[in-house]
Structure 1
Amino acid sequence: MGVRTNIMAAKPDNHAIYDLHDKPPFLTWLGLSLQHLFSMFGATVLVPLLVGLNPGVALFTSGIGTLLHLLITRGKVPAYMGSSFAFIIPMASLMKTVGYPAVAQGIIAVGLVYLVVALIITVTGTGWLDTIFPPEVVGPIIMVIGLSLAGSAATSATMINGKYDWKVFVVALLTLLATVAFNMFLKGFLGLLPVLLGIVFGYLMALVFGLVDLSPVATAHWFQLPNYETFIGKNGFHFYPAAVLSMAPLALVTLSEHLGHLMVLSKITGHDFFVNPGLKRTLTGDGTASVVAGLVGGPAVTSYGENIGVMQLSRVYSVWVIGGAAFFAVIFSFVGKLSALISTIPGAVTGGVGFMLYGVIAAAGLQVLVDNKVDYSKKRNLMIAAPVLVIGIGNFHLQLSAQMDFSGVAIATLLGILLNLLLPKVAASDRH
């Protein structure tokens, strides 16, 4: 049983409150879109802050990239595109040594890799996916995508400025418990917004505990044009082959994330996105989003697990809601005080919510195994799942250079594929 059969096994009872093309009433739509915006905001602006890029541009390109992805996939995939963490090391290095034109060329090259792979899939089809991604591989990979982020959430939920702080722990725990309570006990309109309400509650608690610095809001302008840059330097165009060679291979990392996120989305929505609109369109959407980001000064983008977690919790899969979040991201990139206010949400709050969002992604992988009755009394299944889980969660990564670092998720994905292809169907000790 392959990816396609595995996904469709969950389709008969899609419990969506708003399915892919359902358009919620205006106020509901507004709240649901803001929920997605708040969930991805912290991670999306963190990447440019770590690298030395403009956060306003990153917010702008995440919104534009998402709208382009929706357009290219014909409004059939509810994926939000945010700043990718996979390219932080090479981008930071290039920013220090060369400047943004080199970074931009690397980001554009990453997008072009996606487009080339999409072209290959257009010619070869996607039948090979069923061979390399059976349920015994898909389930653990999806679990790894969620659980590999657990350490990041735990750090945000306990540390501030590199030091442990009990106040951060308390706020994160209260945020988590509030999100759980909102999800379980609210109904109607408010029942659709457990993550947004959890973030608001956590923010209020963070204010009480003195964890919020509002000075950026006071100093920000109401209207603030993002600092756009291009791949052409101040002294004219210069090609940076080292930038391309250091970043383009890392597209293999985000390609594996793309497949994993598409599996999760297909699983939780009951719609097989590998068939409709097809992998060639989803990859084209991702690639185009990164190319555009590189053209205007933003970081490379990728689909976001945080937003997938929000969909899993709210059971709202509407592309209208995702499009609304993208629209707000573009608008907020020009409103300095609003983007500054959202940027003051402390790690204690995002970490507390992250415990829930990343966990529901992992639970979706577990559900794949349950739905397909994957038998772990069989050694073959166990030998695939065990190393994939530990390598992915423990981030057993391959660093070939200061700029080229393949994450544990990428290594785990590749290992799962290889083990599935190379191991015999039945272990010698299981033969009778």
Structure 2
Amino acid sequence: MQRASVLVVDDSPMFLQVVRRRLAEEVDAEVVAAANLRAARTAMAEHRFDVALLDLNLPDAPGGEVVDLALAHHIPTIVFAGDCSEQTRSRLWAQHIVDYIVKEGAESLEYAVRLVRRILRNREIAVLVVDDSATVRHMLAEMLAVHCFTVLEATDGSEGLRLLAEHPNVRLVITDYEMPQMNGVRLVQAARRLFPKEELAIIGISGHEQKDLSARFLKSGANDFLHKPFSAEELYCRITQNLDLLEYIRTIRDLSEKDMLTGLANRRFFFEHGAQALAEAQERQEPVYVAMLDLDHFKRVNDQYGHEAGDTVLRHLGAMLQRHFGEQALPARLGGEEFAVLFAGVEDVAARVEAFRAELAATPVVVSGGSVPVTVSVGVCSLPGQSLERHLACADQLLYRAKHRGRNRVEMGTSPQKIDADKE
């Protein structure tokens, strides 16, 4: 994916410097700075920007002309202002800006940085709007497009459920209450049977005067509720708050389930979820294989090139395991240079593992100080009806045999192998 690009326009050199530094720290994007309307016009002619952070009143554009220019280039626009009257706010919202921010110290800068990050992330997120009114759907779709969401539309709850099943990138549902076939509360209840609150945010909306409606939505599993009519500003705040919360939960879950160096599943996740996947495959009478992998001469890499190079090798191995096996199997880092892969219901395991081993051996890793050849020894075991622990013990013995027979090879078996206790 092409790297994002952010335009920052302000006549204060100090402010530009601080904003550029904070964006560089928090956002993976190219940041282009301009100090006036003329420089901003040149930058927009030369670059395609994903979001712009603009000072409303520049010396050569005191009437907000830089905002008009950015919107004419279809750039999602965040406006900075020294102060913002009700008249100015109304005019800006009518222009369909992303948001306005009053310069009030460090907090406003941090909000701007978070908002830029949010807008860039929104490009990967779909929002489902469920309402039987075409007018309301169109209004919400326009508002959501300003924040760079992909928007899906449904006329009732039944169609909404179908679209949820078809589009896994939906992270937010905005649903009305009164609709034919399936109302909003029933949609929330049905959606929650499929998607927990930490994976899908749901915001209920309604102009109904029923006093307990917001409570009904929330008790049914909605994350939030808005009474019609609501402002674009309030809707954006609620959406951002709910999506940020989903991402915080995802981050915490990753910290507990993933190996931070390689991005693979960690030991805890592998044993918890692997045992369940193995049992389900055995119940369906599908083949189960467990592979144990160990980097050959890894200590030598650390000793010769340093631990940073060793980490680079581990990340490379993790990326290759994910690319080869991540979609159909469960690869994990168990610790150190030891990895495992669970294949449940996967065919041609021997050929797949051998292809992985051969590609890894043919792909040296470039590190500071040279190019490191990387190979692995692999043991692959299948024990019908046996536990994950028994599979791992068997695969570990086969791994030892691969080491014993010269390394950089795959050994397969269907029962524990007794290996001569020679040292490596």
So what's the TM-score if we normalise by structure 1?
A: 0.22
More strand by share: 2
Higher relative contact order (CA 8 A, sep 6+): 1
TM-score (norm 2): 0.22
Query: Comparing both structures, which one devotes a greater share of its residues to helix?
Result: 1
